Structure 1
Amino acid sequence: MAIHTPKTREDLARILSPMRLAAEVFERAVAVGAAESRTFSQGAPKSAPNMMRWFRTVEFIHEELMLLQLDWKRSNPQNLPYFSQSDLNLGLITSSGDEFTGVPWGTPSTKNPKGSAFARRVDENGQGALFGQPTSDGGEIDVRYLWILLYNERDGMVHLELSRPKSMAGKQIDSWLDRIVFPPFDLALGAFSFEEDEGDDEGFGFTIARR
């Protein structure tokens, strides 16, 4: 498993650019999601803050991806918000993660069990489902590389990563092929906590973990 830990905005941009993605997509979505989760009083259902966070995170990922104008498309198989990029055969799903999200030395998973729509997009080899992904215009996109944005808030930070699943155990992901671990999003500053002041020799980290 390859684990990337970019330390500066430039490092993260170099990783995301070939995927036709930008850090700002996730930064904006995480900020709005965190803010919206705090709009409820104690009288609201217990699940309301987390659900609203997911709703807004997905919504703003959608808006920011469309603004990039890099041919990302949106579909909703079995009501699962699903983004795909046909030129690169990429798929993208958003989910809350557990306490190991954003921890390079841990093994994260989705916070909650996932249903069949989610599971169908992770096959036994960790590849995105190899069937055609239908689009709104009646076409199909062949998705071969599925990535999942995981996020988890703790200690005043939202920890997140963009990772490619390898397999699922039951309704939870239990292993990964690649992980891009973002710097934590500082809720007080409203931005990723990049180590911008580090020396030039402090590039992004790259860790090979045991299977």
Structure 2
Amino acid sequence: MEPASGLPSCTVYKGAAARQKLREMSVPIELLIEAAQQGFVERMNAELPFDPVTAPGTDAWRYPVRVLRKALMELGWRIDNPRNLPLAISDEKKINVTVSSGDEFTGLEGVRQPRSKNPKGVLMEEAIARNTRQYDLFPGSLPIAVQKFDQTVKHKTWVFLIYITDEEIRAELSLPSSMDETDHVNRWAERILIPVSLPDAEVKGEPNFDEGPDIRRL
């Protein structure tokens, strides 16, 4: 799915602007850091060859979903799982948040935008239609499968995108705007970059959120 005509170019938030944007969304930046770090820990805790070979990747996604949704629910959000898409929903802010693994470009500025590691389903396609206002502007042009789930996803959907290796964690909270022909999210209208240190590096100080320009439109 391509973005609707006239969709703004990608806006990248970092530093103080990232903190401000997250405050506006009522998403604590410390919670995002904690969720990503928990994914790193559980990925490292997988015991191969005894665990399934998919355990490290699954746990690196599953535990951030748990940490994020549990904490947001305590802050007044609600949770739902339409067609197994795990959402945290703020009806007050009119936003959804879900979690996905990203590729090696996650959390980095540059010409190449990140891509979801795994293909997504029709609910993400519907979410992107909401995000880009295609439901409002071009309802008849949407695929029949997407039209079938009209109103299943009512708010804009942000993706907490995480990339984890043995040496680093990178993350961002971003607003998807298109999927490619293999159903991977490949474009984003807004990206909030979240610097995340390794858990055992926390004693060295918190990540510096004030380095570099605050907002960049690509």
* Alpha-carbon separation, structure 1, partners of 2:114 and 2:212: 24
Q: Which moved more, 1:186-195 or 1:41-50?
A: 186-195
Q: What is residue 5 of structure 1 aligned with on the other side?
A: 14
User: Does the 8 Å contact 1:151/1:160 carry over to 2?
Assistant: yes
> What is the Cα-based RMSD across aligned positions, in Å?
2.6
Q: Which has the higher strand share?
A: 1
Q: What is residue 75 of structure 1 aligned with on the other side?
A: 80
Tell me: higher relative CO, structure 1 or 2? Use CA pairs within 8 A at least 6 residues apart: 2
Q: Which runs of 5+ in 1 are unaligned?
A: 134-140
Superposed displacement of residue 186, structure 1: 2.5
Work out which of the residue numbers 165, 187, 202 in structure 2 matches 1:175: 187
In the comparison of the two structures, how many residue pairs are matched? 192
User: Does the 8 Å contact 1:102/1:159 carry over to 2?
Assistant: yes
Q: Deviations over 1:30-84 (max 9, x none)?
A: 12221111222221222111111211110000121123x2x31100101111111
Superposed displacement of residue 11, structure 1: 5.2
1:141-160 equivalences in 2 (<5 Å)? 142-143=154-155, 145-154=156-165, 156-160=167-171
Task: Say whether 1:132 aligns with 2:145.
Answer: no
Q: What is residue 71 of structure 2 aligned with on the other side?
A: 64
Secondary structure class of the residue paired with 2:216: strand
TM-score, normalised relative to structure 1? 0.80
TM-score, normalised relative to structure 2? 0.78
Q: What is residue 165 of structure 1 aligned with on the other side?
A: 176
Instruction: Using the aligned pairs only, state the percent identity.
Output: 26
Q: Which runs of 5+ in 2 are unaligned?
A: 1-9, 137-149
Q: What is residue 86 of structure 1 aligned with on the other side?
A: 91
1:95-106 equivalences in 2 (<5 Å)? 95-105=100-110, 106=112
* Alpha-carbon separation, structure 2, partners of 1:148 and 1:128: 19
* Alpha-carbon separation, structure 1, partners of 2:33 and 2:40: 11
